[in-house]
Amino acid sequence: MSATWLIARRELAAYLRSMTGYVIAAAVLTVDGILFNAFALGGPDKRSADVLSLFFYFSSGTTMIASIFLSMRLIAEEKQTGTLVLLTSSPVQDREIVLGKFLSGLAFLSIITLLTAFMPALIMVNGKIAFGHLAAGYLGLLLLGSATLAIGTFGSALARTQVLAAIVSGCLLVAMIVCWMLARVTDRPFSDLFVALALYQKHFPPFQAGVVHLRDVVYYVAVTYFALFAATRVVEARRWR
């Protein structure tokens, strides 16, 4: 695990040193702020719980988009610069490489997510918010971001360039989101399968409403695990080429 943390620290430092990380963070905070002010705050008759729920609704979208852009460089950049061969030939296991890079992206995404806390705090100017609702919503954002970031890591492992990694990851993400729509036009048991696989519509709304279900937590953890497992297998396959 020491190699994992070493890679994670190196990659997190790369986010903090480069303009890319700051641009992504600024874009997320700006878009969240605009959407929150334009659509969530509303009039004086709007309940605080509804405003907070809308905040998490808009933040979920920016979190998924940010996860794709943060993850596109994790492995694809190593391929572009030719340093992946050096990394894989070092005394570090492939799973440590993938996990370390994923943890760095998750740490930076968590920082960005927590920086949005001032927006829910504005609700307290004219209303009240429940701590449980706030905690559940942010837990949902972090779990959703973790799953999306893992999918992006898998896409970055498949692609040769960062742009292609973003495209592949975006297609995978959209496919998992539209599973909810496919469930409406298919019969059972396929409709049940598509509902269970839906990344957003099935599993995030409870967090948005301030409710935590174990099945939703398990789902996002499972998606994260399987996406990272697949990314590890892709990196391992390069050793045999």
CA distance from start to end of the chain: 27
**Rounded CA separation 152/109 (Å):** 13
Measure the CA–CA gap between 117 and 114, rounded to whole angstroms: 6
Residue 45 DSSP SS3 = coil
pLDDT grade for 239, boundaries at 50, 70 and 90: low
For residue 218, what are its two tokens?
Answer: 């398990």
What confidence tens digit (pLDDT) does each residue in 182-237 have? 877 777 777 777 777 888 888 898 999 888 999 999 999 999 999 999 998 988 87
What is the DSSP secondary structure assignment for residue 91, as one 8-state letter?
S
Q: Please give the Cα distance from 181 to 174 (Å, whole number).
A: 11
Which residues does 10 contact at the CB level (< 8 Å), separation at least 6? 100, 104
53, pLDDT greater than 60: yes
Which pLDDT score, from 0 to 100, does residue 40 have? 62
Range of 10's domain?
A: 2-240
The whole-angstrom separation of Cα 132 and Cα 19 is: 35
Please write the tens of the pLDDT for every residue from 153-181: 999 888 888 888 889 988 988 888 888 77
DSSP state letters, 174-186: HHHHTHHHHHHSS
Q: Is the pLDDT of residue 152 over 60?
A: yes
Check residue 79 and give its pLDDT. Answer: 75
Is the dihedral angle over the CA atoms 40, 41, 43, 47 positive or is it negative?
positive
Q: How many domains does the chain have?
A: 1
Report which of 15, 162, 163 is spatially closest to residue 78, judged by C-alpha positions: 162
Q: Taking Cα atoms as reference points, which of 87, 73, 101 lies closest to residue 236?
A: 87
Q: 70-90, pLDDT tens digit by residue?
A: 888 888 877 777 766 666 666
Residue 200: CA count within 13 A, CB half-sphere:
18
Say what the pLDDT of residue 1 is.
59
Residue 44: pLDDT over 70: no
Q: What is the pTM of this model?
A: 0.89
Residue 161 — left, alpha, or beta (φ > 0 → left; ψ -120 to 50 → alpha)?
A: beta
Tell me the residue type at 151.
I
